[in-house]
Amino acid sequence: MAGPIDYYFDFSSPYGYLVCDDIDAFGAKHGREVVWRPFLLGTVFALTGQTPLVDQPIKGDYYKRDWERFSKLLGLPYQFPDPFPISTVAAARAFYWLWDQDPKSAKDLSRALFRAYFGENRNISSAEAVIEVAGEQGLDTKALAAALQDQAVKDRLRAENDAAIARGVFGSPICIVDGEMFWGADRLWQVKRWIEQGGW
C-alpha cells in the first residue's frame, strides 16, 4: 500500500466537520490509509497572528453562511454552535488515547464529537462533555476519565501538535499525501488528481 493521507483537523473547525464523514471512504477508494491527526488550531493562530474566522470583519458573516450552506449541500446536520470556537484539548487527548488502542474507534468518536458540536450545538470543550459523548459511543468512560488526567496522554497530544506545527500545518482540514499539502474542505479533487497522476 502506498503512503497514507495525513488528515489534520481541529474539532472546532467547521471545514474539518465537513470532511470527516467522507475522508476514509476517499482514502479507501484511492488505496491510501487515512491517519487522523487532530491538532490545536489555536496554538497555530497564536503563531500566525490569525483570529478566529467569525471574528474577521466582513468575512465572518460569509463564513457563517458558507458553513450552513456547505453542510446542507452535503446533507450534514448543522447549526452554528455557541460558543464558537472552543478549546478542543480534551477532545484531542481523548482521540490520541483511543487511537493508540483502536484507530477505528478513535475515528468513530471523532465523528460523534464533531456531530455533537456542529450538529447538536453541544459544547464539547470540557473533559466531562467528551466523556459523555464517548459514553454514548459505548466506550469505557472510566478509563477515558483517567486517561484525560494522565500526563502521558497530555504529552502525546503536545508532541503531535508540535509535530504538526513543525510540518507547517496551519489550517483545518489539511491533507498531506506523498509530501504534498492540500488545505481546505474543497480540495479533495486535487488530492485525488495528485494521487492518481503521482503529482502533475
Binding positions for its own copies, rule: CB under 8 A: 44, 47-50, 56-59, 61-62, 65-66, 69-70, 72-73, 168, 170-171, 181, 183-184, 186-187, 189-190, 193, 200
Comparing CB distances to its own copies, the nearer of 69 and 104 is 69
Which of 47, 152 has the CB closer to its own copies? 47
How far is the CA of 106 from the CAs of 31, 91, 112, 161, in angstroms?
Answer: 20, 10, 10, 17
> Least distance from C-beta 130 to its own copies, angstroms?
28
- Minimum CB separation of residue 50 from its own copies in Å reads 8
Q: Report the b/e string of 102-112 with b at 16+ CB within 10 A.
A: eeebbbebbeb
SS3 9: strand
- Given the DSSP bridges, would you call strands 34-38 and 5-9 parallel, antiparallel or unpaired? parallel
CB nearer its own copies, residue 29 or residue 193: 193
- Cβ neighbours of 77 (radius 10 Å): 11
User: Based on CB atoms, which residue is closest to its own copies, 1 or 58?
Assistant: 58
Residue 180: CB minimum distance to its own copies, A: 8
In the complex, least distance from residue 27 CB atom to its own copies, rounded to whole angstroms:
20
User: Which residue type occupies 106?
Assistant: A
